[in-house]
Chains A and B, each alone.
Chain A
Amino acid sequence: MLPPMPAARAARLLLRLVLAFSFTVVVAAVGPTAPAGAQTTTTSTNPGTTGSTVLADDQPAPSGGELVRGTLTFADESGRVPVDGAVVIVSTEDGTEVTRVTSGADGKWEVPLPGPGTYQVTIDVESLPAGVGPEDPANIVRTIEVATGQKAGAGFPLAKAGAEVSSPTAPEGNKFLKLLGQGIALGSIIAMATIGLSLIYGTTGLINFAHGELVTFGALVAWWLSTGTGGPGLSLVLAGLLAVVAGAAFGGAQEKYLFAPLRKRRTSNVALIVVTIGWALVLRHLYLIIFGGSSRPYDEYVLQREIDVGPFTLAPKSFWTTGISLLVLVLVGLMLQRTRLGTAMRAVADNRDLAASSGIDVRRVILLTWVLGGGLAALGGVLLGLTNRVSWSMGALLLLQMFAAMVLGGLGSAYGAMVGGLVIGIVTTTSTELIPAELDLVPSLFVLILLLLVRPQGLLGRAERVG
């Protein structure tokens, strides 16, 4: 059906170049190791963090790395401002002082504890900058219980004197619109990352548990290329573009050197799923070793004043993120609909045998699907690093939402992944109106299970024979 494409040779050449480039980037990235074990520990939303204390020993060790930490910030017109040089005092239950610590320039402080137990954490009001004080001046002591190996948190809400304590004075409608805006931003990122996941499933029947690591890869490459520490310090825009190319190459390389050879050996999909799990563990923890356990922002576009666009009030970078994502989604949609390659991808995802018998080079289409998926996932990672921060586990955390989006849209459907991603993103952020923000993943799962009960083929999926 498809005669040798005029562009086929060019595409192959491009692919080789991209592959070569990616390996250079990977090798280069491995070289200058980020300061591992830096004092800043992660404040990411991942409570599992490294898991290094978990599973590490079967005995409650005398000192299991218990610590207490927190971040001191107050609200300003420009956003949250970190408090530098504030003193935090940690004492035991009976009042004996254990230690005192001063917060860093990022407002963070951390105190290692001698062991599990109950501690009192007090903030020294005198040490705070002039005009800044606790929101509730009577409430400056926290009593915390620390379990074996636990990293406990202690927060002290601060406010600028004279300022409104917080801003929920804004009308409810605005807050919802803000969450909706954030949801669309997050959703379009999930959508982009899920397209690859879903198309790879469609073309090969493989659920790639290492897809989140492609997302992280993009963010890490962009971070390394754009920040001064050890990297070349390119502008973030250029770094992001290069990261996407590297991600595409990394995706292609995984298919070419790992999964295609395994499929050739007739390894079953169940075995391949286990391989992707192993691969995800390897990649994720290599990222941890190279990048360290902390989550870091890019150098550029960190703090931005919120602006109004239409009904939404968000930081400009959120609008840019959404705009870029939606544009890319439209382009991918057009590519799938209009180009020969896109048609071939959809045909293979639809029915691999039929596509093969119609003369489509299935192996090449699968390879290009991985290239596309890797590039989109990397772009998702770059943009996610912009709105959140860059961390070694950011992609792994996104994977559940990607799964939910994929099932929601129908396994194997690219358009479904787009719709599913947006739905999941919006559900995730708007649900924080009703439930604690730390549980914002929960509604996605409920949507997922509910859908499986009533419409297992997904929103856009075709009805399939169910035994």
Chain B
Amino acid sequence: MDVVETLTESMRQAVGPQAAAFAIAAVGINLQFGYTGLLNFGQVAFLLAGAYGLGITVDAGGSFWLGLVVAITSAVLLAFLLGVPTLRLRADYLAIVTVATGEILRLVVGSAWGGDNLGTGGPQGVKEVTGVFRDLNPIPDGSYGFSSFRFESQTLWVTLVGWTLALAATLLVRQLVRSPWGRVLRSIREDEDAARSLGKNVFAYKMQSLALGGVMGAIGGIIITLNFTSVIPDYFIPTVTFFAYAVVILGGAGSVWGPLVGSVIFWFVIQFSESSLDATVPEDILSSQDLAALRFVLVGVLLMALMVFRPQGLLGKKEELLADG
């Protein structure tokens, strides 16, 4: 097994466009779950809204910029759709409704019916959706990096934009949670009746948190779409949400930099363990299908182990943790 190869490949995964996209979506989850205590288990629905908002608009002849507007608007609308029936109820209802909505949306946009009636392209998805984004790429053609740590010009462009947005989202959340607005969020996370008794409109704050975090999910979906250059319905399975939760919890829910750090380490660990297994275990014992399945087993074990042994993740504060007693 080539250790250098495995390491560089893992590094490429850790800072690549997918890690950037997950970092942005995770910043959103951190705002919702880490700071407000909302169990949005349908973040993938927001990624989907962003991806298809952009894809359908561009496919129908709209500009890339209009596509972005449509993507963000769809995410906000989705937040209202999910929030109105559930945010006044117990936290668990949001969890159930969001996970269900994410799955339903995927089935609808990926169905032949969705292709015929919604312009989603059905099971094939929407192709060539980058529009003007591709032309804006200032990086000359070519391949950059060394060994397996190598990005094509376009990929590098998406990656740079992705991480810039991830940083911007993080700084925005940092500013928000350090303000009195963030203080109200934290009070809701801990005890919404207390916040209510002090005159805070809990529903409005939850809705703002859900919508803003959802918009970040949509931006994550856009980055993924720009990277693939097409929208593929099969990408948006519920597991995407849970991968993003693993990122948040690994980094530390309720810590500003947690999602960024979490995403880098998460993708490094995933790729590293997979490459190592691939290189060391013979194919007839562990087929490539099994290997792909093992990735999910690994994430599952990671989620459980973190919640049991280190619920504050790498950067969180144990004292402020939602997850204890």
Touch between A and B in complex, CB under 8 Å? yes
Binding site for B on A (CB under 8 A): 36-37, 47-56, 58-60, 145-150, 152-153, 201, 207, 209, 262, 266-268, 270-275, 277-286, 288-289, 293, 400, 403-404, 406-407, 411, 435-436, 438-439, 441-442, 444-445, 448-449, 452-453, 456, 466-467
Among the listed A268, A280, A442, which residue makes an inter-chain contact with B300, where contact means beta carbons less than 8 Å apart? A280
B82 to chain A, nearest CB (A): 9
**Contact call B289/A282, Cβ cutoff below 8 A:** no
Stretch binding the partner chain, chosen from B62-70, B96-104, B168-176, B178-186: B96-104
Among B111, B293, B301, contact of A52 (Cβ-Cβ < 8 Å)? B293
Q: A59 CA to B308 CA in the complex, in Å? A: 34
Contacts of A284 in B (CB 8 A): 296
Interface centre among B243, B294, B323 (most CB of A within 10 A): B323
The one of B85, B93, B232, B303 that contacts A281, using a Cβ cutoff of 8 Å:
B303
Instruction: Give the residues in chain B near A207, CB-CB below 8 Å.
Output: 92, 95-96
Q: Is the CB of A271 within 8 A of B311?
A: yes
Which of chain B's residues has its CB closest to A452's CB?
A: B85
Selected from A55, A273, A442, A466, the residue in CB contact (under 8 A) with B104 is A442
Bound-complex Cα distance A333 to B101 (A): 31
| Chain A residues with CB under 8 A of B289 | 36-37, 50, 52, 288, 293
Q: Are A54 and B234 in contact (CB under 8 A)?
A: yes
| A-side contacts of B88, CB under 8 Å | 466-467
- What are 29 contact pairs spanning A and B, CB under 8 A? A50-B289, A51-B239, A52-B289, A53-B234, A54-B232, A147-B230, A147-B232, A150-B124, A153-B123, A266-B325, A267-B311, A268-B323, A272-B307, A274-B303, A280-B300, A281-B239, A282-B301, A285-B294, A285-B297, A289-B290, A289-B293, A400-B103, A400-B104, A436-B113, A439-B107, A445-B101, A445-B104, A452-B85, A453-B84
Say yes or no: A407-B96 contact (C-beta < 8 A), given A150-B124, A268-B324, A436-B112. yes
- Which of A277, A286, A444, A452 is close to B245, meaning CB atoms less than 8 Å apart? A277
Q: List residues of chain B with CB within 8 A of the CB of A51.
A: 234, 237, 239, 292, 296
Find out whether the CB atom of A150 lies under 8 angstroms from the CB atom of B303: no
Chain B residues near A (Cβ < 8 Å): 13, 16-18, 37, 39, 41, 84-86, 88-89, 91-93, 95-97, 99-101, 103-104, 106-108, 110-113, 123-125, 127, 155, 192-193, 196, 202, 227-230, 232-235, 237, 239-240, 242-243, 245, 249, 287-290, 292-297, 299-304, 307-308, 311, 322-325
Check B292–A56 contact: CB distance below 8 A.
yes
Report yes or no: B93 in contact with A282, Cβ–Cβ below 8 A. no
Question: In the complex, A50 Cα to B296 Cα: how many Å?
Answer: 10
Apart from A36-B290, A50-B289, A148-B230: 8 A-B pairs, beta carbons within 8 A: A47-B234, A54-B237, A149-B232, A268-B323, A282-B304, A293-B289, A442-B108, A456-B89
Asked if residues B39 and A270 are in contact (CB atoms below 8 Å), the reply is yes
- A281 CA to B303 CA, complexed, in Å: 9
